[in-house]
Structure 1
């Protein structure tokens, strides 16, 4: 199996995870007011999950003979809680999309498929959680409209 396409795409996943570390950490720093106690811990936990995924993906890239990237994508920053939650849902949805593609590229290597499925399941849990948090809000409605037009 030619692992280079998988390595290249996993490096894109890794960039996304590095972005999650920064974006979720920043959200935990910026959240203020009565919701700080509720959400600051949630965002730090999400940053830690992104860091865990980054470590696992980086190790796998190295094991496959690649060099893990150290760059990240641009982070979205805001003090508005609804916007932070919307950005979080978009981030998790993008991760699901990216790991789904990685799974397609890994077809034929069962161990790699299982590795990616485990991360994909955690990313889907994030989508589910942010979907529930946003349900019934204007932010959720704008995300739904955006995904339907894509």
Structure 2
């Protein structure tokens, strides 16, 4: 196992999680209309999950001798609920990809593999959740307001 490669990938995961904290929080703030009550708490829960993952990954990076990243990636913003849901699916899918790569790099370190598998399982649940929310959403009006971007 190349320890530095693992730390570098974990830092990419950490930056992604910091992005999730901001992106999901923003979505919970701006969703409006009749869908606010339905979705605001979902987005806030996802922001809290991202923060929880960030804490775990940051602590693991430190335990492995690295320095946790404090930067994040670009945040996607829109007021269109269907786009928010699609951005969320894309975000969760990217997380699955990133943790899968970290998992491959961690081969040979069973405790680290288990640690990453647990996070990966939660990220896959996010993919499943947003996939189901988006399925057949074209038949219902899920516009949070108008289609202007924030």
- Alignment TM-score, normalising by the size of structure 2: 0.91
Work out whether residues 14 and 54 of structure 2, in 8 Å CA contact, stay in contact via their aligned partners in 1.
yes
- CA distance in 1: counterparts of 2:76 and 2:39, whole angstroms: 17
- CA distance in 2: counterparts of 1:77 and 1:126, whole angstroms: 19
- CA distance in 1: counterparts of 2:112 and 2:23, whole angstroms: 27
> How far does the alpha carbon of each residue in 1:2-33 deviate from its partner, in whole angstroms, 9 at most, with x for none?
31000000000000000000000000000000
Aligned to 1:146: none
Larger RCO (alpha carbons 8 Å, 6+ apart) = 2
Aligned to 2:147: none
- CA distance in 1: counterparts of 2:137 and 2:31, whole angstroms: 18
Shift of 1:49: 0.1
SS in 2 for 1:94: helix
- Alignment TM-score, normalising by the size of structure 1: 0.91
Aligned to 1:148: none
- Structure 1 residue ranges (4+ consecutive) displaced by more than 6 angstroms after TM superposition: none
Structure 2: tracts of 5 or more residues without a match: 139-150
Number of residues paired by the alignment?
A: 138
Aligned to 2:68: 68
Shift of 1:136: 1.7
Aligned to 2:11: 11
SS in 2 for 1:17: helix
Structure 1: tracts of 5 or more residues without a match: 139-150
- CA distance in 2: counterparts of 1:33 and 1:137, whole angstroms: 17
- CA distance in 1: counterparts of 2:64 and 2:134, whole angstroms: 39
Aligned to 2:31: 31
